[in-house]
Amino acid sequence: MSSPAALEHGLNTKRSAVKVGGWALAALSFQTLGIIYSDIGTSPLYVLNGIWPGSGPVPSNEDVIGGISAIIWSLTLLPLLKYICISLFFGTQEGEGGSFALYMGLYPAKDKDFDADRTLTGESYHGKEFKETLPFSMRLKNKARWPLLLWCLFGTSLTMADGIFTPAVSVTSAVAGIAVAKPSVTADIIPISVVFLLVLFAVQQFGTARLAFTFAPISFIWFLLLIGTGIYNITLYPGIFRAFDPSRAVLLFVRTKNYDLLAGVLLAVTGCEAMFANLGQFNAASIRLSFMIFVYPALVLAYLGQGARLIVDGEAVLANLFYNTIPGAHNGPLFWIMFIFAILATLIASQAMITATFSLIQQVINMKGFPPIRMIYTSETIQGQVYIPAINWALMIATIVVVAVFSNLANLTNAYGFAVATVMLSTSVLLAVQMFYVKHLPLTLAIAYFISFGFFDGLFWGAALKKVPHGAWVPLLIGVVLMLIMFLWTWAKRLEDSFDGANRKNLRHFIQQNEKSNNIHFDFDDDADHAITIDGEDDHAATLPTYYYMSTQSPTTSSVGNDKIAEVRKDLQRIPTCAVFHKIAEGKGVPHTFVGFVRQWPALPRVVIFLSVCVVPIPRVPIEERYVVNKVRTIEGFYGVTYYIGFRDDFDVQVGELIERICSVERQMNPKANAIIEEIRAVAQTATHIAPHYHVVSKKVDVGVISPIVNYLRKYLIEDIYRRLATMFPETANWLTSADEIIHVGINAEI
337-393 residue pLDDT tens? 998 898 888 888 777 678 778 877 887 887 788 888 888 877 666 656 778 888 889
- Spell out, as residue ranges, where the chain has pLDDT lower than 70: 1-21, 92-95, 109-117, 122-134, 207-213, 280-281, 352, 379-384, 407-412, 515-543, 552-566, 617, 619, 647-648, 650, 732-741
CA–CA distances in Å: residue 390 to residues 395, 591, 650, 652: 9, 31, 18, 22
Tell me the domain boundaries of the chain: 28-107+145-409, 503-750
CB 505 within 8 A of CB 594: yes
DSSP 292: I
Distance, first Cα to last Cα, the chain: 35
CA–CA distances in Å: residue 702 to residues 103, 516, 651, 709: 31, 50, 43, 11
Of 475, 665, 687, 675, nearest to 575 by C-alpha is 687
Helices (H), 319-408: 321-324, 333-366, 389-405
Three-state DSSP state, 197:
helix
Of 267, 42, 334, nearest to 174 by C-alpha is 42
Each residue of 510-535: b (16+ CB within 10 Å) or e? bbbbeeeeeebebeeeeeeeebbebe
- List phi, psi (to 5°) of 483: -60, -45
Residues with Cβ within 8 Å of residue 236, at least 6 apart in sequence:
308, 309, 312
Indicate if the alpha-carbon torsion angle 502, 505, 510, 512 is positive or negative. negative
Concatenated DSSP letters of 468-497 = GGGTTHHHHHHHHHHHHHHHHHHHHHHHHH
CA distance 356 to 189: 27
CB 360 within 8 A of CB 719: no
CB 172 within 8 A of CB 341: no
Three-state DSSP state, 531:
coil
Mean of the per-residue pLDDT values of the chain: 80
Q: Residue 169, Cα to own-chain centre: how many angstroms?
A: 24
pLDDT at 516: 62
CA distance 167 to 505: 51
Of 390, 387, 388, nearest to 378 by C-alpha is 387
CB 382 within 8 A of CB 281: yes
Concatenated DSSP letters of 627-692 = EEEEE-SSSTTEEEEEEEEETTS-----HHHHHHHHHHHHHHH-TTTHHHHHHHHHHTTSEEEEEE
Among the four given CATH numbers 1.20.1740, 3.30.460, 1.10.3470, 1.10.10, the one describing domain 28-107+145-409: 1.20.1740
Residues with Cβ within 8 Å of residue 21, at least 6 apart in sequence:
none
CA distance 59 to 39: 27
Of 218, 234, 230, 236, nearest to 337 by C-alpha is 218
Q: Would strands 386-387 and 376-377 be described as parallel, antiparallel, or unpaired?
A: antiparallel
pLDDT in tens, 250-287: 999 999 988 889 988 998 998 787 788 777 667 788 88
